[in-house]
Amino acid sequence: MSFAALLARLGGMGRFQVTYVAALAVPLIMLASHNLLQNFTAGVPEHHCRPRATGATADIPLLVSIPTDGHQQPQRCRRYVELQWHLLEANATANGSTAATEPCRDGWTYRDGAFAHTIVTEWDLVCESKTLKQMAQSIYMAGILLGSGLFGILSDKFGRRAVLTWCYLQLGVTGAGTAAAPTLLLYCLGRFLTGLAMAGVSLNSSSLCMEWIPTEARAVVGTINGYSYTLGQFLLAGMAFGIPHWRWLQLTVSLPFGLFFLYSWLLPESARWQLSAGRPHQALAGLRRVARINGRKHEGDQLDLEALQALALQEPPVPGGAVATLFRTPGMRMVSCGVSFVWFSTSFAYYGLAMDLQGFGVNVYLSQLLFGAVDIPAKLISVLVIGGLGRKVAQGGSLALAGVCILANSAVPSELRVLRMAFAVLGKGSLAASFNCAYIYTGELFPTVIRWVQTGLGLGGTMARVGGIVAPLVRMTADVSPVLPLLIYGAAPIVSAMATRCLPETRSLPLPETVADVETR
């Protein structure tokens, strides 16, 4: 009897599994709040140089202190070396624009608005220091990348539930600590540690679902988890609108993890892991508890240690060379490289769009709602296309559509805000569909031995996080040309869409069991 058959005997997708999935899905709602948080905590308000201090008692008119840009708005990063009083004359012209200017030596003045209290206004992350804002987001994503490897190893050693409980605590504490950070350096450190914990929450929530949920229900559970992230995007927009101060918003999205930490002690450990870790007595107790909750007490009482130990022997051993297997043969190299392209470009373009809500010229709270809402039909359509037209069409098509939308946006004038927003929303929805396809397609491309140890999906997840790290840094190329970031973000999915043509179709085909099956396919 396999472990899947044992779960079916003990109730399948019973009351325990439903409750378990719900308990793990609620924290996932808050993941979006942290991943996209800097859209609001690092929002950039309108600003200009603080005028030169003088002995005059009256306020100095802005016109004589700050030069204007091409839109007749105060320049953000320059001021006149000498006050240009002649610009107040009735017949004054733009002659003052030729006067000498200098950087903002006395700081900046920020206009009141949606972003009156952000890390940008607190630590003056504008002009020469504006790249530090993007660095802070990349540091957070680097924490997620490191945490994926670190907490993956720790969960294999100490258990999925134990590590998940620790990550809830770490995320709550470091998130709250970030809200109290007195300097940008400590803020970045707090965000890095939060990213570490975020990876642990995501990884171990997925592992626990996979190891407690029957095989036939995994697709539905995966969809529920995906829509939990979508719901989190709606929640973030509401919280950011109601809590404009970055410290209080940071604290608000972090404190719920204290509650998740408390109730996580009630969640049973993975029986699969307990068996593989040589703890059959604990596995037996946990399975009997599950049977009672599912109304299958009699079946649970019939379980014994001998049956569980025999079951443990049926589990495939973890191959020591699983990572090397990804690139050992031509077929595996083709699959691994294709999967890497897909995951990197999807995440790269996704965070390139999702972390630049201000760049589309539309109210940021409305933009966040639209970006969240488009995920609902996008993920549903992706599932229909996957089943009807196949994996390659769904994966390549969603990437190509995303790239075209992003590139089209680079050609739309900034004055056409509605059209720019429409292209951005369609592109973001296409990338959400690409993520949905990638989870399914990746699991079907790799052989069973690679899927079982999650090495294949681990490769995709790693490349996605690398894309998330690089995406904010590419935003800095806007200093060279305002459209250059969009050109780069749009080119990546199109290149990956072409790369998917080299991958095999897996719809209605048996899953490969060995590397040899991949080569013959």
Sign, CA dihedral 102-106-107-113, equals negative
CA dist 35 and 75 (Å) reads: 31
> What are the residue ranges of helices labelled H in 159-245?
160-179, 184-212, 218-242
What pLDDT digit, counting tens, does each position of 370-410 carry? Answer: 988 998 899 888 888 887 888 888 999 999 999 999 999 88
- The pLDDT-based confidence of 50 (bands split at 50, 70, 90) is confident
Q: Which of 360, 353, 479 has the alpha carbon at shortest distance from 416?
A: 360
Q: Kindly list the distances between the CA atom of residue 213 and the CA atoms of 21, 89, 268, 433, 511, in Å, as whole numbers in the listed order.
A: 9, 77, 13, 24, 20
Percentage of the chain modeled with pLDDT above 90: 26
Q: Which of 486, 450, 500, 6 has the alpha carbon at shortest distance from 215?
A: 6
Percentage of the chain modeled with pLDDT above 70: 88
CA dist 137 and 237 (Å) reads: 18
- The pLDDT-based confidence of 327 (bands split at 50, 70, 90) is confident
- The pLDDT-based confidence of 316 (bands split at 50, 70, 90) is low
CATH number for the domain including 481?
1.20.1250.20
Q: Which of 10-19, 90-99, 181-190, 260-269 has the lowest mean pLDDT?
A: 90-99
93 CB burial (10 A radius; 0-12, 13-18, 19+): exposed
- Mean pLDDT (the chain) is 83
Q: Which of 276, 299, 315 is where one domain is finished?
A: 315
CA angle 296, 302, 304 (to 5 degrees): 130
CA dist 244 and 208 (Å) reads: 36
Average pLDDT in the 486-495 region?
Answer: 93
Residue 70 lies in a domain: no
* 346 in Cβ contact with 431 (< 8 Å): yes
- What's the confidence (pLDDT) of residue 256? 94
What pLDDT digit, counting tens, does each position of 230-250 carry? Answer: 899 899 999 999 998 999 999
- What's the confidence (pLDDT) of residue 321? 52
- DSSP output for 242-284: H--SHHHHHHHHHTHHHHHHHHHTTSPPPHHHHHHTT-HHHHH
- The pLDDT-based confidence of 457 (bands split at 50, 70, 90) is low
DSSP conformation class of 37: T
Is 268 found in the same domain as 326?
A: no
Residue 485 lies in a domain: yes
- What's the confidence (pLDDT) of residue 123? 93
Amino acid in the structure at residue 294: N
Is 320 found in the same domain as 310?
A: no
- The pLDDT-based confidence of 57 (bands split at 50, 70, 90) is very low
- What's the confidence (pLDDT) of residue 515? 74
- The pLDDT-based confidence of 318 (bands split at 50, 70, 90) is very low
Q: Which of 287, 315, 343 is where one domain is finished?
A: 315
Q: Which of 501, 507, 514 has the alpha carbon at shortest distance from 338?
A: 501
Is 323 found in the same domain as 304?
A: no
What pLDDT digit, counting tens, does each position of 134-185 carry? Answer: 899 999 999 988 888 788 778 878 888 899 999 999 999 999 999 999 999 9
* Residues forming a β-bridge with 295: none
CA dist 365 and 428 (Å) reads: 16
- DSSP output for 439-487: HHHHHHHS-HHHHHTTHHHHHHHHHHHHHHHHHHHHGGGGGT-TTHHHH
- What's the confidence (pLDDT) of residue 345? 94
Residue 178 lies in a domain: yes
CA dist 233 and 422 (Å) reads: 18
- What's the confidence (pLDDT) of residue 423? 92
101 φ, ψ (degrees, to nearest 5): -125, 170
- Domain span at residue 179 reads 1-32+127-315
- What's the confidence (pLDDT) of residue 435? 87
* 404 in Cβ contact with 490 (< 8 Å): yes
- What's the confidence (pLDDT) of residue 59? 66
Is 271 found in the same domain as 394?
A: no
Is 328 found in the same domain as 360?
A: yes
Residue 103 lies in a domain: no
Is 402 found in the same domain as 254?
A: no
Average pLDDT in the 80-95 region?
Answer: 69
- What's the confidence (pLDDT) of residue 417? 86
Residue 61 lies in a domain: no
Is 329 found in the same domain as 232?
A: no
Is 311 found in the same domain as 224?
A: yes
315 has a pLDDT exceeding 70: no
Average pLDDT in the 85-97 region?
Answer: 62
Is 521 found in the same domain as 506?
A: yes
66 CB burial (10 A radius; 0-12, 13-18, 19+): buried
Average pLDDT in the 412-417 region?
Answer: 84
Long-range contacts (CB closer than 8 Å, 24 or more residues apart) made by 84-90: 87/63, 88/61, 88/63, 88/64
Is 400 found in the same domain as 308?
A: no
Residue 288 lies in a domain: yes
Residue 101 lies in a domain: no
Total tally of structural domains belonging to the chain: 2
What pLDDT digit, counting tens, does each position of 281-312 carry? Answer: 888 888 888 888 888 887 777 777 776 766 65
- What's the confidence (pLDDT) of residue 314? 54
Q: Which of 300, 315, 330 is where one domain is finished?
A: 315
Is 346 found in the same domain as 291?
A: no
What pLDDT digit, counting tens, does each position of 181-208 carry? Answer: 999 999 999 999 999 999 889 888 877 8
- What's the confidence (pLDDT) of residue 191? 95
510 has a pLDDT exceeding 70: no
Q: What is the pTM of this model?
A: 0.84
- Reduced to 3 states, what is the DSSP secondary structure of residue 30? helix
* 331 in Cβ contact with 521 (< 8 Å): yes
Is 136 found in the same domain as 218?
A: yes
133 has a pLDDT exceeding 80: yes
Residue 111 lies in a domain: no
Q: Which of 44, 31, 35 has the alpha carbon at shortest distance from 119?
A: 44
- What's the confidence (pLDDT) of residue 111? 82
- What's the confidence (pLDDT) of residue 320? 46
* 338 in Cβ contact with 347 (< 8 Å): no
